[in-house]
Amino acid sequence: MRRALKRAGLSPAPKDFVETPGIPPPPRTSLPGEPPGTSTPVDWAGFFGRVAPVEVEIGSGRGRFLTDEAAARPDTSFLGAEIELEYTRIGQTRAEKMGLTNVRFARLDGRAFVLDRVPAGSLAALHVFFPDPWPKKRHTKRRLFSPEFVRGAALSLVPGGLLRVATDNLPYFEAIREVLDAEPAFEKVPGSEAGWSSGTDYERKYEKEGRPMGRGIWRRRPEG
């Protein structure tokens, strides 16, 4: 197992992340190569080995969107934050097969990572595509897009930085739009609900099925 993880560019799960029945594990916010429980702000230049604009995708899945973006924009560094270990491995393997050195994938709790580890004003863009809608009323509090997260997302972006959102769950998209529009540090990019696609595996599948999509781009205000 450890050899397989090493080939994928990943670190094995630290002991304090081993799940115990009845006891929720701590949020995963440590990057590969960091000690478990690291809480200091991320040194992006040290992590990527260069100084470049950084973009993060929360819930990167199999990594199609980020690897396509990384191939098209070699001057930007990308991080995929994905909670599912198997998807993290798939994304990292895809990047390695494509010969990409400007994108990395890590098993992370995206919400906690943005709120606790990402330095203020350090991201050029944040991407959230097809987040879990948690449709049952009793689970609504588990949704990613809370006022707290949205405020943290705004603070993580450089002035003018973008938050791109897509989902096939239209009621959830309306809830996302409401909380984003209520955040003073964000402004909606006019016309951003059409004319673009995330290109993720989910979106390609859902478009073939004819599902309607909710899309939008919000920008951190220059004075925010």
pLDDT single digits (tens) 61-80: 999 999 999 999 999 999 99
Instruction: List, by residue number, the catalytic residues.
Output: 132
- pTM value is 0.86
Superfamily of the domain at 53-220: Vaccinia Virus protein VP39 (3.40.50.150)
For residues 5 and 55, which has the higher predicted lDDT (pLDDT)?
55
Condensed to tens digits (0 to 9), the pLDDT of residues 95-140 reads 999 999 999 999 999 999 999 999 999 999 999 999 887 667 676 7
CA distances from 177 to 5, 9, 146, 147, 148 (A): 38, 36, 11, 11, 15
Q: What tokens does 204 get?
A: 């390609």
pLDDT tens digits for range 7-33:
434 333 333 344 445 545 668 999 998
Distances (CA, A) of 42 to 39, 115, 118, 169, 185: 9, 12, 6, 32, 22
Domain boundaries, the chain: 53-220
pLDDT value for 81? 97
